[in-house]
Amino acid sequence: MSEQLNDSQHNTTGANRPKMKKFVFQLYGDNVDFIESLPIEEKNRTINMLVQSYKTTHEFAVQDKKLRKSIKKAVFLVLLLLVGTPMLIKIVNFSIVATLNSYGEMQMNFEKLFDSRP
């Protein structure tokens, strides 16, 4: 049974030809006369060129969107580094200074406490 399935899945008659399929399209009224005047090969070539052109344009738009998104992320990260790094240094510096001042005040208070003992 599985051999029959495999044989039916691998059609050897059209193995070298690209897959082709027929479609039905609706055209705007002003394009009907033009398309009807074309021979069948020209119709096929025209439709395939239009589809290929659309695919190329769409792929370019997708790549452009990805590039814009990447550039926005890069600009955001650069701004974050330019603004965030100095702020981080100031916050750390403020914390260290506050801690040292607090320790200094505590030391003075303990010295006063021990000096005031009888």
- Which residues, 6 or more positions from 38, have their beta carbon under 8 angstroms from its beta carbon? 46
pLDDT of residue 18: 76
pLDDT of residue 79: 96
pLDDT of residue 4: 42
| Cβ atoms within 10 Å, residue 22 | 4
Q: Is 97 exposed, middle or buried (0-12, 13-18, 19+ CB in 10 A)?
A: exposed
Tell me the one-letter amino acid at 114.
F
pLDDT of residue 15: 60
With a cut of 50, which residues of the chain have pLDDT below it? 1-12
Would you kindly state where each structural domain of the chain is located, as residue ranges? 20-115
Residue 21 tokens, joined: 């399929």
- pLDDT tens track for 31-54: 999 999 999 999 999 999 999 999
| pTM for the whole structure | 0.54
pLDDT of residue 118: 64
